[in-house]
């Protein structure tokens, strides 16, 4: 467990940003938010599990992705537009600008945690390039520059023009919040002014086949306090269901958003749209939209989510299936896991309810983290829960949305650790860190959190107000852990009596500088089964421990993993192996393997017959770490022996 130390975290320590106010989603002035953000630059992660990953993101992943954008011509597209070079072709997909913008956002959030002169120069060069490529009227999309000017805004369902501008705007806001420098924000505002003039609210309906701009517009409103951006976001939400996108259910245009009853369509597009709707609710308390996000969240989490938090079951169209359509080879796009985090985070800020935190944590560890190799240079687009050994990560994709999306999420991770409310400070993720947190009455509280999670259930928090101060500390009680004990300054407290209806342990007291809270969680190995209507998972179980979902890989077994069975009553041995997969807790037990069966594919059913088995050792590793060794079969869900 990372030890406490007295290093001050703040502007002077990080050397970047004019302020600690670097939130990802800024609900500081949102009138209907229960929780307020704590910015990226206010938190310095010091964690045995996460620190190396964030450092690898900065020193390996971001440079590799920058090189990919150069190699694929994504940067060259901006140079071509800036110099009006009609004799050269456009490179890549028509939405490749978005990959560059996501990289810029990731690099900007990274600067919120540490100085990096190389990143600073690369960002500055790109900002100048974006400005040079922008038209005088504010339009910016390199696919439609030079030789396709006449095709602008002619195909809203397909060509991603607003989507790209959404990522530009999100990158610009991150850059402005971290650096205080407005040049990229000015580019984004000019681009959004162009959209506002072209699709003016209450006059010209306008929506993009791929949502993204809606979220960005609400955040632009929060940044500038210009009401037109919130109005434009609302207008884009309400433009759906008017036929702008051809009435296509896949594009969420089959009905007005306010009337949509169930989660459907392309998973990433849907969740970006729902996150934007939650953003609008945070600002307006619109009762219709509030009902929409509540019922869509319920449908999503009760009917259409994998045990890992992966979403989007169908390979056909990267889309949601019907209720309980959750095969173990679900598509589960990495970007969809990230989009789920965006939706969950906004719902958490709106409500303060622990179910949204739980979903976010599950998706972070088990739906997003598997998308990145342990080397930091290869990526999964899809994240199935079973594989024959052919699905491997790749350095890049023709449709390269997932790699920079992972990079920007990891870079912004410090901004997901804490929130505040009128009553005090809320811990949202047990990740080791040092933070300086401004509470609503203007005080600044130092927090140092040390933990052995996700491997062991010890958490320590040192609370350091500048002077004694009364407030509440809200601590999550994860559903996959069992709270064994809590002490404050070494004195046990009745933790069962202090868990709120929202699912957090609330400790309210007059905090003294240096007060220490210690929590201990038991992390039992648990079998998880699916709802009986999930036909593909009938009489099969997944293995979890703490926040992690586990899997079995062929490399650890001398029998085919497809033949492994469990009774559900095994005693699992836990062993932390520092030499395996950069250090993981493995789980092993004596279970069963079915005997080889050369019989016919189908045979007459005999209720008295059960498979013949022999003893077999099963070893499970965290699902996030699979496919980092030699290729081989993998399973998350394992069959149960008939009783």
3-class state of residue 526 by DSSP:
strand
Pairing of strands 469-476, 424-427: parallel
**Rounded to an integer, what distance in angstroms lies between the CA atom of residue 321 and that of residue 330?**
10
- DSSP 8-state code for residue 642: P
The 10s digit of each residue's pLDDT in 176-233 is 999 999 999 999 999 999 999 999 999 999 999 999 999 999 999 999 999 999 999 9
pLDDT at 15: 34
The tokens for 389 are 């050994």
Q: Residue 496's CB: how many other CB atoms inside 10 A?
A: 10
**Rounded to an integer, what distance in angstroms lies between the CA atom of residue 383 and that of residue 363?**
12
Q: What is the chain's alpha carbon radius of gyration, rounded to the nearest angstrom?
A: 25
Mean pLDDT over each residue of the chain, to the nearest integer = 94
The 10s digit of each residue's pLDDT in 124-149 is 999 999 999 999 999 999 999 999 99
pLDDT at 217: 98
The 10s digit of each residue's pLDDT in 427-458 is 999 999 999 999 988 789 999 999 999 999 99
Helices 117-133 and 74-82 cross at an angle (nearest 10°) of 50
pLDDT at 206: 97
pLDDT at 56 over 60: yes
pLDDT at 44 over 70: yes
**Rounded to an integer, what distance in angstroms lies between the CA atom of residue 34 and that of residue 54?**
29
Strands (DSSP E) contained in 334-432 are 386-387, 418-421, 424-427
**Rounded to an integer, what distance in angstroms lies between the CA atom of residue 2 and that of residue 613?**
45
Tabulate helix, strand, coil % of the chain (nearest 5): 40, 20, 40
**Contact residues for 505 (Cβ-Cβ < 8 A; gap 6+):** 474, 475, 476, 477, 483, 486, 495, 498, 499, 519
pLDDT band at 12 (very low <50, low <70, confident <90, very high): very low
CA distances from 381 to 95, 99, 215 (A): 17, 14, 23
- Degrees to nearest 5, angle at CA 144 with 143 and 145: 95
What are the structural domains of the chain? 419-522 (2.60.420), 526-639 (no CATH)
**Rounded to an integer, what distance in angstroms lies between the CA atom of residue 403 and that of residue 408?**
9
The 10s digit of each residue's pLDDT in 248-294 is 999 999 999 999 999 999 999 999 999 999 999 999 999 999 999 99
pLDDT at 4: 34
Q: Is 121 exposed, middle or buried (0-12, 13-18, 19+ CB in 10 A)?
A: exposed
**Catalytic pick among 214, 219, 283, 318:** 318
Would residue 401 show up in a list of annotated catalytic residues for this protein? Answer: yes
**Catalytic pick among 208, 212, 335, 401:** 401
**Rounded to an integer, what distance in angstroms lies between the CA atom of residue 514 and that of residue 461?**
9
Would residue 69 show up in a list of annotated catalytic residues for this protein? Answer: no
pLDDT at 19 over 80: no
pLDDT at 149: 96
pLDDT at 13: 31
pLDDT band at 494 (very low <50, low <70, confident <90, very high): confident
pLDDT at 16: 36
- Residue 485 CA, chain-centre distance (Å), reads 30
Are residues 232 and 192 in contact, defined by beta-carbon separation less than 8 angstroms?
Answer: yes
pLDDT at 157 over 90: yes
Q: What is the mean pLDDT of residues 42-54?
A: 97
Q: Is 224 exposed, middle or buried (0-12, 13-18, 19+ CB in 10 A)?
A: middle
pLDDT at 440: 85
3-class state of residue 603 by DSSP:
coil
Half-sphere exposure of 139 (CA within 13 A, CB side): 18
The 10s digit of each residue's pLDDT in 593-626 is 999 888 899 999 988 888 889 999 999 999 999 9
* Nearest-10 Cα torsion for 195, 197, 203, 209: -10
Strand partners, 591: 616
- DSSP 8-state code for residue 364: I
The 10s digit of each residue's pLDDT in 365-385 is 999 999 999 999 999 999 999
3-class state of residue 588 by DSSP:
strand
- DSSP 8-state code for residue 503: S
Q: What is the mean pLDDT of residues 477-482?
A: 94
Which percentage of the chain shows pLDDT scores above 70? 97
Are residues 48 and 245 in contact, defined by beta-carbon separation less than 8 angstroms?
Answer: no
Q: What is the mean pLDDT of residues 324-343?
A: 97
pLDDT at 1: 56
**Rounded to an integer, what distance in angstroms lies between the CA atom of residue 191 and that of residue 561?**
53
pLDDT at 606: 87
Are residues 577 and 588 in contact, defined by beta-carbon separation less than 8 angstroms?
Answer: no
pLDDT at 642: 75
């Amino acid at each position: 467990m990372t030890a406490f130390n007295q290093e001050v975290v703040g502007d002077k320590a990080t050397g970047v940003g004019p302020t600690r106010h670097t939130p990802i989603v800024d609900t500081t002035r949102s009138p209907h938010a229960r929780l307020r953000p704590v910015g990226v630059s206010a938190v310095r992660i010091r964690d045995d599990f996460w620190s190396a990953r964030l450092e690898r993101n900065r020193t390996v992943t971001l440079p590799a992705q920058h090189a990919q954008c150069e190699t694929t011509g994504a940067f060259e597209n901006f140079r071509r537009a800036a110099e009006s070079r009609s004799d050269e072709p456009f490179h890549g997909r028509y939405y490749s600008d978005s990959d560059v913008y996501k990289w810029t956002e990731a690099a900007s959030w990274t600067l919120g945690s540490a100085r990096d002169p190389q990143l600073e120069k690369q960002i500055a060069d790109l900002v100048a390039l974006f400005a040079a490529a922008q038209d005088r009227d504010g339009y910016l999309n390199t696919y439609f520059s030079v030789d396709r000017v006449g095709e602008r805004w002619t195909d809203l369902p397909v060509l991603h023009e607003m989507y790209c501008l959404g990522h530009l705007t999100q990158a610009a806001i991150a850059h402005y919040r971290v650096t205080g420098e407005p040049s990229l924000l000015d580019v984004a505002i000019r681009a959004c002014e162009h959209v506002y003039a072209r699709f003016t609210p209450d006059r010209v309906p306008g929506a993009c086949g791929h949502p993204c701009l809606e979220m960005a517009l609400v955040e632009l409103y929060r940044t500038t306090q210009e009401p037109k951006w919130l109005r434009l976001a609302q207008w884009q939400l309400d433009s759906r269901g008017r036929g702008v996108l051809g009435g296509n259910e896949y594009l969420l245009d089959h009905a007005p958003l306010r009337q949509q009853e169930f989660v459907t369509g392309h998973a990433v597009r849907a969740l970006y749209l729902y996150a934007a709707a939650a953003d609008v609710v945070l600002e307006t308390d619109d009762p219709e939209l509030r009902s929409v996000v509540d019922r869509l969240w319920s449908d999503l989490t009760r009917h259409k989510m994998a045990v890992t938090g992966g979403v989007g079951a169908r390979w056909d169209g990267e889309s949601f299936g019907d209720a309980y359509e959750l095969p173990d080879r679900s598509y589960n796009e990495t970007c969809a896991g990230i989009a789920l985090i965006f939706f969950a985070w906004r719902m958490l800020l709106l409500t303060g309810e622990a179910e949204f935190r739980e979903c976010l944590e599950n998706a972070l560890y088990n739906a997003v983290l598997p998308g990145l190799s342990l080397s930091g240079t290869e990526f999964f687009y899809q994240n199935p829960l079973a594989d024959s050994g052919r699905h491997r990560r790749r350095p890049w994709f023709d449709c390269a949305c997932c790699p920079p999306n992972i990079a920007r999420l990891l870079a912004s991770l410090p901004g997901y650790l804490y929130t505040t409310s009128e009553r005090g400070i809320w811990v949202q993720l047990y990740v080791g860190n040092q933070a300086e947190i401004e509470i609503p009455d203007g005080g600044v509280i130092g927090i140092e959190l040390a933990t052995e999670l996700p491997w062991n259930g010890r958490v320590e928090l040192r609370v350091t107000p500048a002077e004694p101060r009364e407030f509440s500390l809200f601590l999550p009680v994860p559903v996959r852990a069992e709270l064994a004990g809590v002490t404050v300054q070494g004195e046990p407290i009745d933790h069962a009596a202090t868990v709120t209806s929202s699912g957090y342990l609330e400790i309210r007291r007059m905090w003294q500088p240096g007060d220490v809270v210690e929590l201990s969680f038991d992390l039992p190995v648990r079998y998880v089964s699916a709802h009986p209507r999930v036909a593909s998972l009938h009489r099969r179980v997944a293995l979890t421990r703490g926040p992690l979902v586990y899997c079995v890989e062929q490399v650890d077994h001398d029998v085919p993993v497809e033949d492994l069975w469990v009774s559900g009553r095994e005693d699992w041995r836990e062993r932390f192996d520092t030499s395996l997969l950069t250090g993981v807790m493995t789980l092993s037990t004596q279970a069963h393997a079915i005997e080889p069966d050369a019989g016919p594919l189908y045979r007459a059913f005999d209720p008295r017959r059960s498979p013949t088995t022999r003893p077999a050792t099963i070893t499970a590793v965290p699902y996030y770490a699979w496919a980092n060794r030699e290729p081989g079969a993998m399973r998350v869900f394992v069959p149960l022996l008939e009783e």
